């Protein structure tokens, strides 16, 4: 795919996205398929030569859409809407274009520092004390943006476990961490995210 083919395919995908949003109400929320439905719709062996973009694009409706649960449908009430909007899709395009791996400051100073600013914005929006902010001088505040709800839950449970373990051992120095962990309990509502039980 050369630059102009990429440009044309990009326009085609943006048009597809807009049409999808406009018509999503008319699509069935849940697919009428059974496990294994896709096996006979695509080749059993990987392609040995590049496929034409139009053939791949046509497979979106032919192969992918019949098996889609449409999370963004106004008729979908099973879980929660995923983070999707025109600005977020444009951000995905930019992120994929830049293709950075932001695991440290030196790997991508811009992404690291933008994350710090955005985390501070969130902290201020929910009125966290200043010691939780990156921008507070002399304080090791701040945090990171987690990728999923499950990662957030795991991080919160591990932080609570670490803090409570330290607190209990200070009062009972004869206990080992594993002895404390055997007694810890997590309380959660029946409506809690499925990751809470796994994290605990």
Looking at the fold, whether 45 and 84 belong to one and the same domain comes out as yes
Q: What is the pLDDT of residue 198?
A: 82
Looking at the fold, whether 131 and 182 belong to one and the same domain comes out as no
For the chain, what is the domain count? 3
Q: What is the pLDDT of residue 143?
A: 84
User: Please, are residues 5 and 53 in contact by the beta-carbon 8 Å criterion?
Assistant: yes
Looking at the fold, whether 9 and 88 belong to one and the same domain comes out as yes
For residue 14, what is the domain's CATH number?
1.20.1340.10
Looking at the fold, whether 120 and 156 belong to one and the same domain comes out as no
Three-state SS string over 160-188 comes to HHHHHHHHHHHHCCCCCHHHHHCCCCCCC
The pTM assigned to this predicted structure is 0.73
In a structure prediction context, what are the per-residue pLDDT tens digits for the chain, which is 200 residues long?
A: 999 999 999 999 999 999 999 999 999 999 999 999 999 999 999 999 999 999 999 999 999 999 999 999 999 988 776 778 899 999 999 999 999 988 899 999 999 999 999 999 999 999 999 999 999 998 888 888 888 888 999 999 999 999 999 999 999 999 999 999 999 999 988 888 888 888 87
Looking at the fold, whether 61 and 122 belong to one and the same domain comes out as no
- Can you give the residue range of the structural domain that contains 110? 101-145
Residue 185: left if φ>0, alpha if ψ -120 to 50, beta else—which one? beta
Looking at the fold, whether 13 and 62 belong to one and the same domain comes out as yes
Q: Which of 63, 96, 129 is the last residue of a domain?
A: 96
Looking at the fold, whether 47 and 11 belong to one and the same domain comes out as yes
Q: What is the pLDDT of residue 197?
A: 83
């Amino acid at each position: 795919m050369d630059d102009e083919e990429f440009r044309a395919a990009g326009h085609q995908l943006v048009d597809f996205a807009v049409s999808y949003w406009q018509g999503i109400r008319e699509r069935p929320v849940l697919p009428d398929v059974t496990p294994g439905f896709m096996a006979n719709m695509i080749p059993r062996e990987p392609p040995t030569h590049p496929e034409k973009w139009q053939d791949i694009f046509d497979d979106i409706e032919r192969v992918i859409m019949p098996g889609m649960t449409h999370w963004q449908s106004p008729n979908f009430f099973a879980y929660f809407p995923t983070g999707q909007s025109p600005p977020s899709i444009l951000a995905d395009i930019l992120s994929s274009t830049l293709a950075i791996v932001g695991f440290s400051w030196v790997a991508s100073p811009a992404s690291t520092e933008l994350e710090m600013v955005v985390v501070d914005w969130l902290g201020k929006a929910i009125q966290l004390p200043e010691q939780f902010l990156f921008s507070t001088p002399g304080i090791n505040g701040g945090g990171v943006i987690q990728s999923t709800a499950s990662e957030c839950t795991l991080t919160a449970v591990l932080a609570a476990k670490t803090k409570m373990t330290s607190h209990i051992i200070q009062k009972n120095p004869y206990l080992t961490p594993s002895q404390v962990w055997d007694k810890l309990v997590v309380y959660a509502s029946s409506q809690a995210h499925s990751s809470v039980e796994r994290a605990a």
